[in-house]
Amino acid sequence: MSEPDLNLLLTLDALLTEGSVAGAARRLRLSPSAMSRSLARLRETTGDPLLVRAGRGLVPSPRALELRERIGPLVQQAQAALRPAAALKLDRLEREFTLRTREGFVENFGAALLERISSEAPGVRLRFVPKPDKDSTPLRDGSVDLETGVIGSTTGPELRALPLFRDRFVAVVREGHALSRGRLTAQRYAAGRHVVVSRRGTSSGPVDQALAALGLARDIVVTVAGFSEALALARGSDLVATVPERHTGHLRDGLLSLKLPLALDAFPVSLLWHPRMDGDAAHRWLRGCVRDVFALSA
What is the CATH T-level fold of the domain 169-265, as seen in this structure? D-Maltodextrin-Binding Protein; domain 2 (3.40.190)
What is the CATH T-level fold of the domain 7-82, as seen in this structure? Arc Repressor Mutant, subunit A (1.10.10)
Predicted local confidence at residue 239, as pLDDT: 98
Q: Do domains 7-82 and 90-167+268-296 have the same CATH topology?
A: no
**CA gap 136, 134 in Å, rounded:** 6
- Phi, psi (rounded to 5 degrees) for 123: -85, 0
**Per-residue pLDDT reduced to its tens digit, 264-291:** 999 999 999 999 899 899 999 999 999 9
Q: Which residues contact 151 (CB under 8 A, 6 or more apart)?
A: 161, 268, 270, 272
Task: Look at the pTM and tell me if it is higher than 0.75.
Answer: no
Predicted local confidence at residue 212, as pLDDT: 95
Per-10-residue mean pLDDT, the chain, length 298: 71 85 88 90 88 83 84 76 75 95 92 96 96 89 94 88 95 96 96 91 82 96 94 97 94 96 94 92 96 86
Predicted local confidence at residue 86, as pLDDT: 65
CATH code for 90-167+268-296?
3.40.190.10
**CA gap 206, 212 in Å, rounded:** 10
| CB-CB contact of 144 with 272 (8 Å) | no
Predicted local confidence at residue 196, as pLDDT: 95
In the chain, where the domains are located: 7-82, 90-167+268-296, 169-265
> CB-based burial of residue 277 (10 Å sphere; 0-12 exposed, 13-18 middle, 19+ buried)?
middle
Predicted local confidence at residue 135, as pLDDT: 87
| CB-CB contact of 296 with 112 (8 Å) | yes
Predicted local confidence at residue 1, as pLDDT: 47
